[in-house]
Structure 1
């Protein structure tokens, strides 16, 4: 997962992250997620794996939920700290597959959104993430993941790349290895003034809903709910993402 001190989210990425993900900050995208998470957290506290710049954590805190974050990237956390109220959210710097926040074992909610589970590029690391979530939760607590369903149906036989963005100066595609479940998102951008191009590639590991359920069982969690999205639409064979809730058994 790690290429440097900040993993794949150094300052050069953190500086423009909110702008590049602007659609995820709209009330239409964000409010349903915060509503659902606040309901699951109850009186809290909650821990966010991959807190980043605080897109979800800050409005959740505004709802009265205490949030602790874990993130590898100091640059992303620095952007969180610069926002109103961001300096009051405690953050543990480290890999969320293994790093422990203060108060581990007493959280009512752990959550991981926006495909971030795929940033863990091995099955072992993803299993460790579930174990880490379980270690943070109090009995009866829940672990929530938002992640896309692998879009292999878009991949014709013999093809390994699926384009998802095309413009005058920017093109992007996902590349898949179906033998290992390795994938990468690749962005090619051309500077309109110089004509020079830059390529940025981020590795991931895609994971199936049933595989996540098995990881949860290994960690002592059980599936409680699965929806297509934050507004709790039914999850079907046509769903392109899911929001899943696993529960730690109550003592």
Structure 2
């Protein structure tokens, strides 16, 4: 990938803010911001993978001082162009390793962004980076899906999740390495385009071990931002680890 913006360059950033997407639903954003604002309190918040500011901007509007880290200048340009965009500081770089001055009461990473780090080493580094930014007693929050391997019968690696006359999308899994990719094919005026993004899926228990290696302890895990109970049937989780006071 030669694009300095990684897999989220101008062509993706231009259409990223899709109001029909569930993650942009007002009730989803509100629940997320309520959860995070409660943890941030009167302190500062750091978002890893701030993107176009879907969560950072409404969190800042709640009075929380927010800083973000993101590799994509194209995504950050969208954040800057929005009302209140100048209130969120942004550092351009890899959120697994980029350091920001000062300490934070909250570091958070939402909507599967931890999986954009495609090796276990990078994910471990992300936890250590988050811990290094936290003040004593501060929290690190991750929202991520639970690997849905029950959809894979023996010998199958591909799972379609959106199929229609104008295109289709599918995930490809490698259960030996935990590597996966989401792949998108769109057809416009008889011409097709293809986009693929690599990920590394990660288990809740594996994340807990990464947190422990970084000196953090689990404080809670829920299915969603409304603190629904996390069960064996949950398709995602919101987990909170804390730095000891």
TM-score strictly above 0.5: yes
Q: C-alpha deviations, 1:184-226, integer Å up to 9, x for none?
A: 00001111x2x11111110000000000000000000010000
Q: C-alpha deviations, 1:67-114, integer Å up to 9, x for none?
A: 0000000000000000011022110000000001121xx200000000
Residue correspondence of structure 1 range 32-181 to structure 2 within 5 A: 32-103=31-102, 106-181=103-178
Instruction: Select 1:240's aligned residue among 231, 235, 239.
Output: 235
In the alignment, structure 2 segments of 5+ residues that lack a partner are none
Aligned CA-pair RMSD: 1.0
Q: C-alpha deviations, 1:18-47, integer Å up to 9, x for none?
A: 027632121121111100000000002000
Q: What is aligned with 1:211? A: 206
- 3-state SS in 1 of match to 2:14: helix
Q: 1:4 offset after TM fit, Å? A: 2.1
2:187 aligned with 1:226: no
In the alignment, structure 1 segments of 5+ residues that lack a partner are none
Residue pair 1:111, 1:145 contacting (<8 A) in 2 also: yes
Partner Cα separation in structure 1 for residue 20 and residue 8 of structure 2: 14
Residue pair 1:69, 1:101 contacting (<8 A) in 2 also: no
Partner Cα separation in structure 1 for residue 231 and residue 22 of structure 2: 24
- TM-score, structure 2 normalization: 0.98
In the alignment of these two chains, the number of paired residues is 245
- TM-score, structure 1 normalization: 0.96
Q: Return 4-13 or 176-185, whichever deviates more.
A: 4-13
2:186 aligned with 1:186: no
